[in-house]
Amino acid sequence: MIPFRIAILGGVVVLAAGCTDSPGPSAGPSLPPLPSGPPVVAPVAGPKPSFVHAQELSDQVKVGMTQETVESMFGPPDKAGYKTYGRATPTPWQALEWEWVFQDVVPHRVFWIAFQRDPQGVWRV
């Protein structure tokens, strides 16, 4: 699990423009169904930070942070969804991805964070 977390920390905080996923062929073992409904998180007061401020805050994102902590830093995500990582490994896993789109810069920028469910069922960076 530690190598996965190191890989996640290295690739979790991404600032990119125009990133898209292209669905590939489904390979590997089937995964258990995801829970129904979005994860429950506490509401946050205040607007989403500017892109420049979000860049500064991204340095403070650490492995092990909960959804609530991340949401208190960046506000609620603009998009959220599940993605499978490690399809080429013996044990692929589900991630919860949150995405914020910053339109205060041109070209627009996207910031996303991936969460992995811990053994207690809590989604963490």
Q: Is residue 9 part of a domain?
A: yes
Long-range contacts of 36-41 (CB under 8 A, 24+ apart): 38/80, 39/67, 39/96, 39/123, 41/67, 41/68, 41/71, 41/76
pTM of the model: 0.61
* Amino acid letter for position 78: D
* CA angle in degrees (0–180, nearest 5) for 46-117-120: 105
Contact in structure between 98 and 88 (CB atoms under 8 Å): no
Q: Give pLDDT tens digits for 6-64.
A: 344 444 444 333 444 444 555 555 656 655 554 444 444 457 889 999 999 999 999 99
* CA angle in degrees (0–180, nearest 5) for 92-96-99: 130
Domain containing 112 equals 2-17+41-124
Q: Is residue 36 part of a domain?
A: no
Q: Is residue 111 part of a domain?
A: yes
Q: Is residue 34 part of a domain?
A: no
Q: Is residue 53 part of a domain?
A: yes
Residue 125, judged by CB atoms within 10 A of its CB (0-12, 13-18, 19+), counts as: buried
Q: Is residue 51 part of a domain?
A: yes
Domain count, the chain: 1
Q: Is residue 23 part of a domain?
A: no
Q: Is residue 35 part of a domain?
A: no
What pLDDT does residue 29 have? Answer: 56
Q: Give pLDDT tens digits for 94-110.
A: 999 999 999 999 999 99
